[in-house]
Amino acid sequence: MKRRDLVKILEESGFVSVGGTKHEAFSNGSVLVRVKRHREIPDQIAKRILREAGLR
């Protein structure tokens, strides 16, 4: 999955970027997830991030 697609899904669900260096952190107030700064995120990792965010 492309990183920008994953970030778009998170932002549309109310998550905002709270910074980071090698990983960008996104929070919706109660949940914090980290996304690697790579163009492509392996599908298994993308699914795990979305599951941790409570979206899938």
Residue 56 has pLDDT above 90, yes or no: no
> With bands split at pLDDT 50, 70 and 90, how would you rate the model's confidence at 4?
very high
Q: Which amino acid is at 43?
A: D
Q: What domains can you pick out in the chain, each with its CATH number?
A: 3-52 (3.30.920.30)
CB distance 15 to 53 below 8 Å:
yes
Neighbours of 8 (CB within 10 A): 11
First-to-last C-alpha distance (Å) of the chain: 15
pLDDT tens digits for range 6-49: 999 999 999 999 999 999 999 999 999 999 999 999 999 999 99
What is the phi/psi pair of residue 44, to 5°? -65, -40
Residue 2 has pLDDT above 90, yes or no: yes
Predicted local confidence at residue 22, as pLDDT: 94
